[in-house]
Amino acid sequence: MQELWKSILELLSRVVTPDWGELINLIPVALLAVVILFFVITIRRYATAGPARRAPARFTPVAPPGLHMPGPSYSPVFAALGMGAVFWGLVVGGTALWIGLAILALALLYWGREAIREYDRATHTETLPAVIDDGSPARAVPAGPPAGVHMPGPSFRPILGALGTAAVLAGLVFGGWLLAAGLIIFAVTLVGWLPDARAEYDKRVEADVTGHLENPPPPAWPRRLLQAGIVVFVVAAMFQTGLLPPRVAGTANGSPEPSASESPPATSFKIAAKDIAFNVKAITVKADAPFTIDFANNEVPGVTHDIDIRATDGTTVIEKQDVVNGGAAVTYQYKALAAGSYVFICSIHPVPNMTGTITVK
C-alpha cells in the first residue's frame, strides 16, 4: 500500500507542480495537432457539402447553355513543382539550378499552351460587330456570351512575370549586376501589365454602350520584349562574371594576379570574398603536407560562400568545407595533397571569379 500511495502522490505532483520546460517543448506538437484537426474538419465539410441525397454517386455539374467552364488542369501543380525545383537549385547550386529553371520554363510553356486552347474553345465564333439596341424589332442582337459574362483573352504577362521573378531570384543569389538586371526585367513586366488591364476595362465600358461584350484581339508573341530581357540578363551576367569589361591577359581589376611560380610552396594562406569574387586566384601548396586557408567572407549577411577543393575538371570534389555567412570568417583545415594541379572553388557560386588554381609541389 505504501508503494501504491507513493505512486499516486508522484502522479499528482506532475499535475500540481508540472515541469514547465517539458510543457513548453510540447507546444509545437499541440499546434501541429490543432492544424491537423483543422484540415480534417475542413476536408470533411467540403466532402459533405451540398444537398443531401441517397444516391452514393455524385452528380456531374453541367454548365448553363452558352457558358464555357474550363476543365480541371494539372498546370498549377506542374508550376508548383517547377518553383520547387528552382528553390532546390538555389540551395544546391551548380547544374541543379539550371535543371530547376528548365523544369519551371517547361511547366509555364505547358500552362500557356493549355490557356490558349481554352481560349480558342471559348471564342470559337467570329468577333461580333457592335450592336446598338434602338428598340426596333428587326434589329436582333446576335448570339454571343451570356449577359454579364466576360471571358478575358489570353495573356503572356503571367509567363513574363514568372520569368521576371526568376531573374530577381537569380539576382538575390548572385547579387551585383544580376540583381539590377532582374529588378529591371521584373519592373518592365509589371508596367507592361497595366495597358492590358486598361484594354480589358475599356472593353467593359464599351459593352455598356453597345450592349455586346467583345474581347480584345489575341496578343502576339512578345518576341522583342523577350529578346531585350535576354540581352539585358546576359550582359549583366558577363559583367558579374568578369567577362566585361575586357581585361589584359594576366590581370584582374587592373592589377597583376598572383602567380604560383612567384611564391614558394606554403601551408597557410589568406583568401577573402567580396562582390562574388575571390581576391586570390592562385596558390602554391607544399606537397604531402596539410594546409590551412584563413577565409573571410566580406559580403553582406545572407550571401554565403565556401572554398572546396576539386580536381582540374571542376566537378570531382576532393574536399568539401562548410559555408560561411556574409560578415564572418573561418580557418579551413585541408588534408595533404599529392603533387599536381587542383582547383579551389565556391560551391555556392561556381563562377570564374570564384575559382582559383592550386599548384602542389
Residue 337 belongs to domain with CATH number: 2.60.40.420
> 209 with 324, same domain?
no
Residue 179 lies in a domain: yes
> 29 with 88, same domain?
no
Question: Mean pLDDT across the stretch 278-296?
Answer: 94
Residue 248 lies in a domain: no
List all residues 6 or more positions away from 229 whose beta carbon is below 8 Å from its beta carbon. 163, 164, 167, 185, 188
Give tens-digit pLDDT for 109-163: 999 888 888 877 766 555 444 444 444 444 444 444 555 555 666 788 888 888 8
Q: What is the pLDDT of residue 142?
A: 45
Does 249 score more than 60 pLDDT?
no
> 89 with 31, same domain?
no
Alpha-carbon gap, residue 5 to 317, rounded angstroms: 64
Q: What is the pLDDT of residue 246?
A: 64
Question: Mean pLDDT across the stretch 41-47?
Answer: 83
Q: Tell which residue, 191, 117, 204, has the closest CA to residue 157.
A: 191
List all residues 6 or more positions away from 106 whose beta carbon is below 8 Å from its beta carbon. 78, 82
Q: Tell which residue, 193, 128, 203, 129, has the closest CA to residue 157.
A: 193
Q: What is the DSSP letter of 61?
A: P
Residue 298 lies in a domain: yes
Give tens-digit pLDDT for 200-213: 788 777 777 776 66
> 100 with 205, same domain?
yes
Phi, psi angle pair for 210, to nearest 5°: -85, -20
Mean pLDDT of the chain: 79
Where is pLDDT greater, at 285 or 18? 285
> 92 with 230, same domain?
yes
Name the band, by pLDDT with cuts 50, 70 and 90, for residue 55. low
Q: Biggest alpha carbon distance in the chain?
A: 104
Residue 187 lies in a domain: yes
Q: What is the DSSP string of 283-336?
A: EEE-TTS-EEEEEEE-S-TT--B--EEE-TTS-SEEE----B-TT-EEEEEE--
Q: What is the pLDDT of residue 54?
A: 55
Range of the domain at 25: 19-51
Range of weakest confidence among 91-105, 125-139, 299-313, 344-358: 125-139
Residue 251 lies in a domain: no
Residue 9 lies in a domain: no
> 209 with 301, same domain?
no
Other beta carbons within 10 angstroms of residue 27's beta carbon come to 9
State the total domains in the chain. Answer: 3
Confidence (pTM): 0.38
Range of weakest confidence among 106-115, 249-258, 276-285: 249-258
Range of weakest confidence among 159-163, 232-236, 246-250, 323-327: 246-250
Where is pLDDT greater, at 171 or 331? 331
Does 361 score more than 70 pLDDT?
yes
> 200 with 321, same domain?
no
> 229 with 294, same domain?
no
Alpha-carbon gap, residue 43 to 47, rounded angstroms: 6
> 229 with 330, same domain?
no
> 85 with 232, same domain?
yes
> 82 with 36, same domain?
no
Residue 250 lies in a domain: no
> 209 with 293, same domain?
no
Residue 226 lies in a domain: yes
Q: What is the DSSP string of 123-188?
A: T-SPPPPP----S-TT-PPPP-SPTT---PPP-SHHHHHHHHHHHHHHHHHH-HHHHHHHHHHHHH
